Amino acid sequence: MNPISYNYTPYSSYSYPYYSGRGLDVQNSYYEQPKESDSTSEQAAKTIGLAGLLQLLSVALQKGSSILSSKLAAGKEFTTPENVQRVADDMVSKNRLNVHIGYIDELNKAEYASRYGLGKSLDPVAKGQNAFFADKLRLAVAPKSKPSLILHELGHAINAKGKFTKLLQNSRRYAGYAPMALLFANGILSNKNDGKKTFIERNAGILGFCAFLPTIIEEGLASFRGVKAAKKVLNNPAGLKILKKNYALALGTYILAGIGLGVASKQTVLLDGKN
């Protein structure tokens, strides 16, 4: 789960196999294969080693991400809710944002959910575990207990108004398909008989990470806009440091997710290469 996301799709529902268990699949498929020449088994042994490493890395990334998330959840607010609102008002008026801002708690979540047709999406927000901006609904919400997250969400609202930054924002929808897309492209491009690794086989990890890079950049930009506005409206350097730290933790979860997508891409392509 990610505390800061630009829409109300929970981060954890993204479709790439963050914990795919594919490393084990590779191992199984190897043992079921008939004995081949020595060099092929050597190659297979290397692949199993790599698959195991990737699986370990995938688990470590999940662990790291949940550590960052809980640190962020435990993070202090950098200023009072009234000051946050002053900064938010400044962002709205300077950028002519047509966005309703909601601070969600257990008391008002049902009313918001029915007004915007949000189902259960506000439950984690009320609990202080998520915040989001929904462009189509013209709505930005943050937990009442963590109002400062709204400045990041308004950063997304500003990004949604720019052509290029909107493109970055939309890329997130497709990033999760990177492993399957690479697999598909590799199927078209590879020549299984020549024994050489294709460009995609060699670079699946970095290519998968690159698919998530626009999302990481857009997230960073949303936070940057929030921090910039807070710096301008409030004269509170100590508080700003706290805000920056909280937003850095949030960005950290996205960087780890990008690495995770790279790992998942490598795993997917590696598995295919053994079949």
Chain residues that interact with Zn ion, rule: CB under 5 A: 4, 6, 219
CB of residue 248 to Zn ion, shortest distance in Å: 13
4 vs 51 by CB, closer to Zn ion: 4
How far, rounded to the nearest angstrom, does the alpha carbon of residue 208 sit from its chain's CA centroid?
Answer: 13
CB of residue 231 to Zn ion, shortest distance in Å: 19
Whole-number Å distance between alpha carbons of 99 and 164: 20
Of 149, 208, 153, nearest to 181 by C-alpha is 208
Specify whether the CB–CB gap between 254 and 175 falls below 8 A. Answer: no
219 vs 272 by CB, closer to Zn ion: 219
Q: Which residue is nearest to Zn ion (CB)?
A: 4
55 vs 130 by CB, closer to Zn ion: 130
CB of residue 41 to Zn ion, shortest distance in Å: 47
Whole-number Å distance between alpha carbons of 239 and 86: 15
Specify whether the CB–CB gap between 212 and 257 falls below 8 A. Answer: yes
CB of residue 156 to Zn ion, shortest distance in Å: 6
4 vs 101 by CB, closer to Zn ion: 4
Q: What are phi and psi of 99, to 5 degrees?
A: -135, 130
CB of residue 246 to Zn ion, shortest distance in Å: 12
The alpha helices in the chain, defined as continuous H runs, are: 22-32, 38-74, 81-94, 109-116, 123-126, 149-159, 163-175, 178-189, 199-233, 237-273
4 vs 99 by CB, closer to Zn ion: 4
